[in-house]
Every structure is written in structure tokens, then in C-alpha cells.
Amino acid sequence: MNGPTAVVAGLGATVPPHVLTNEMLAARLDTSDEWIRSRTGIRSRHTVAPGTATGDLAVTAGARALANAGMSTVDMVVVATATPDRLCPATAPEVASRLGLGPVPAFDVAAVCSGFVYALGVAAGAIAGRLAGSVLVIGADTFSTIVDPSDRTTVAIFGDGAGAVVLRAGVPGEVGGLLAFDLGSDGELADLIAIPAGGSRQRSTGPADPAAHYLAMRGRPVFVNAVRRMAASARAALAGTGWQAAALDWLVGHQANVRILHAVADGLGVPRERAVVNIDRVGNTSAASIPLALADAAAAGDLRAGDRVLLTAFGAGATWGSVTLTWPALPAVATF
Ligand code: UT7
């Protein structure tokens, strides 16, 4: 890309107030705090109350990112989500309207857990191509609305949340700039994590097979592919930037499982303490995962201006993506 560079200008995040602990799950399912903690690293997650939708969380996160950037307008809104408020239309136009952003282009990106990195790529392309001078990129998901409450393999893993960044046009080399992307997919793995019904392949047919409307996941092959693809994608983004893994200050991986994050760090040769981990209190929040991790690390003072950061994700589709950036000098980011 030869046009302007996309630079991070603001960051904000939110989770719904209700906390669902492992103990609460163990009280109603055949699972235990010990199993969930040792197999995933998760202690608790946040879930929305009935009636609260992904768009509601996206509006809060978007407003916080705009406030953090000190901006009240942007030229484009992109919402990465796999749990839109409705199948049709996209969630982004209503989010843009509720944020008072006017008649800007607004659309959803559907790349599930890789959605935030994909949306950053689309937004960076829009800035480089001079389609937009600034873009609000939101990752928001409410997987608690699509998991089967009786399925211990998914209900223990997923949580709800939203995170957002404002990108603005900057110059190459500027602190806060997005550097090199690597994005990819493998549709042969499409059935590993899927909701069978509700789309055009299997239209909603009422209560005939309610289970088909829930998320189904084959955890073991997802785990194996996540480690392999995130490490390979991270290496490609590092090579595109001209950075060695050892030069990274922070590895911010999609928070799917702490064992996946550690395996990716080990594979890259990045010390585990350089991998940002907040899955213990938010679970896997899909497209919200990376901006929630960034907001936590920024609020803790871990992310400092000029730090070399790598974002990497793997998700349903299968999709994966990575991007390198230098961390910008932002006003204090509130914890959520
Ligand atoms: O964001 C991208 C999407 N998702 C992921 O990246 C998730 C990737 N996968 C994983 O994180 C792991 O595969 C899981 C955490 C989902 C599962 O861990 P695992 O070590 O791969 O276990 P497993 O799926 O091989 O299951 C082992 C056993 C099974 O019992 P049997 O068949 O051996 O009797 C499961 O039924 O563990 C059982 N199990 C549970 N037991 C207690 C699965 N979930 C639970 C649970 N509590 N919550």
C-alpha cells in the first residue's frame, strides 16, 4: 500500500456487567472450575442480559474509542462480528447512527474470531486508498446468545464484549502506525466451528431442530489449527515488517485458550510473559478479544508509546490474520 498509513488514534472497550463464573457453570453442568481453568485458563466471563445485543456493546466501545481519540466524526465505520443484531441488515449502520456519526459508509466484516484483524486490514486499505481519512473499527460479539446453554464445551469458553479503535491517516514511520498484514483462510475447515441453521443453506424452520441454531465446535482440531496458523501468520507479518520475533515487545493473540497463546509464543520464540493474557476474566470474546486485550494492557500501563506489537488471530471459517504496529501515545485508556 503506497498511500497514507493507518495510525491508531484511540482505543475503548466494554463488557456487560453480569459475571458468569466457573463455579456458576459447575453448579448446573457436568464441569468444574479446575477443568475449565486448567484446560483453558478461563475463570469467568461476562454475558449480556436478555435483550442486550451486540450493537449495544459496539456503541459503548465505539463511543469510548472516539472519546479516547478526542474525535467526534469519522469517515467510515466497520463492525467485525459473527453475532449481528439481526441476520439482515448489517449492525454497523445502526451503530454509526446511534453514535451520531451521520451518513458515513458503515458495514460488517464476518471473519469471526479473526474479524478484528480483518477489519483493521479493510480500514487500513480504505485509508491507504484515500477512501477514508479516519475509520472507527469495532470488534463486538455476544456468543452467549448462540451457545447451547447445556453444551459444556462451548458455554465454558465464550464470553461477550466489544472493543474499538479509531484509525486515522498518518505518514509512514509514524508512531502508532499499522505496518504489515497477513490475512488468510481455509474453507475446507468451515465445519469445525459453525452454526448449521439460520442462513440460506438451512433456513430457519422453527423448532424442528433447535440444536442446529446453536454454535457447534470441534475443539481439538480447532486447537491444533489455531496454533499452526497463528504462528505461521505471525511469522509472515514479522517478515513483512522486517522484525525478528525477539524484537517484539508484546504479542497480542486472540484469547481463545491460554494454552494456545503459550504454544504460539513458544513456537515464535517469544517469552510467555510478553504474550498479553486476559482470557482469565473475559473468556473467548471472538471479534472483541484483541481490542479487549489491548485495552487491558493499555490500562495496566504495559503498552507504551513506541512498543513493537504483533496482533494475531485464528477463528471460524477458518480464517486467520496478523498485523504488526508500533504502539501510539494515547490518552489514558479506561479499564472496563
Ligand atoms: O476462537 C477460536 C475458537 N475456539 C478455540 O480456539 C477453541 C480451541 N480448542 C480448545 O480450546 C480446546 O480444544 C477445548 C478447551 C475446547 C477443549 O480442550 P481439550 O483439551 O482439547 O479437550 P477435548 O475437546 O479433547 O475433550 C476432552 C474431554 C472430553 O471428554 P471425553 O470425550 O474424553 O470423555 C470432553 O467432553 O473433556 C471433556 N470436556 C469437558 N469436561 C469438563 C469438554 N469440555 C468440558 C468442560 N468440562 N467444560
55-70 pLDDT, tens per residue? 999 999 999 999 999 9
How much is the pLDDT for 33? 98
Whether 109 and 192 share a structural domain = no
Residue nearest to atom 16 of ligand 1 (CA): 219
Q: Which residues are tagged catalytic?
A: 113, 254, 284
| Centroid of ligand 1 to alpha carbon of 138 (angstroms) | 29
Judge whether 235 lies within some domain: yes
Nearest CA residue ID for atom 36, ligand 1:
153
Ligand 1 contact, 39 CB (< 6 A) = yes
Q: Is residue 219 assigned to a domain?
A: yes
Q: What would the mean pLDDT of 44-51 be, rounded to a whole number? A: 97
How far apart are the C-alpha atoms of 299 and 197, rounded to whole Å?
A: 40
Q: How confident is the model at residue 212 (pLDDT cuts 50, 70, 90)?
A: confident
Q: Is residue 207 predicted with pLDDT exceeding 80?
A: no
**Is residue 222 in contact with ligand 1, taking CB distance under 6 Å?**
yes
Angle between helices 258-268 and 219-241 (to 10 degrees): 40
Helix (H) or strand (E) holding 325: strand 319-326
Pairing, β 76-80 against β 134-142: parallel
Q: Is 289 in the pocket of ligand 1 (CB under 6 A)?
A: no
* Cα dihedral across residues 166, 167, 171, 175: positive or negative: positive
Enter the C-alpha cell of residue 303. Answer: 503498552
Mean pLDDT over the full length of the chain: 96
* pLDDT of amino acid 213: 84
Place 205 in a pLDDT band, splitting at 50, 70 and 90.
low
- What pLDDT is stored for residue 260 in this prediction? 97
Q: Are 222 and 91 contained in the same domain? A: no
- What pLDDT score does 206 carry? 66
226 CB within 6 A, ligand 1: yes
Give me the CATH number covering residue 277: 3.40.47.10
Which residue among 39, 150, 189, 280 has the greatest number of ligand 1 atoms within 8 angstroms of its CB, and so is best to mutate? 39
Number of structural domains in the chain: 2
* Ligand 1: residue whose CA is nearest its atom 19: 220
In a domain, 298, yes or no: yes
Phi, psi of 245 (to 5 degrees): -55, -35
Mean pLDDT for 25-38 is 97
The residue contributing the CA closest to ligand 1 atom 30 is 153
Give the separation between CA 44 and CA 11, rounded to whole angstroms. 23
Q: Write out pLDDT tens, residues 116-151.
A: 999 999 999 999 999 999 999 999 999 999 999 999
Residues 92 and 207 in one domain: no
Q: Residue 19 belongs to what domain range?
A: 5-170
Give the model's confidence band at 336: pLDDT under 50 very low, under 70 low, under 90 confident, else very high.
Answer: confident
Ligand 1 pocket mutation, candidates 191, 217, 220, criterion most atoms within 8 A of CB: 220
**β strands within the chain, DSSP E:** 5-14, 19-21, 44-46, 76-80, 106-109, 134-142, 160-170, 178-185, 193-194, 216-217, 250-253, 308-315, 319-326
Mean pLDDT of 286-310: 97
Percentage of residues in the chain having pLDDT higher than 70: 98
Read off the pLDDT band of 208 (50, 70, 90).
Answer: low
- Answer yes or no: is 335 within a domain: no
The full length of the chain comes to 336
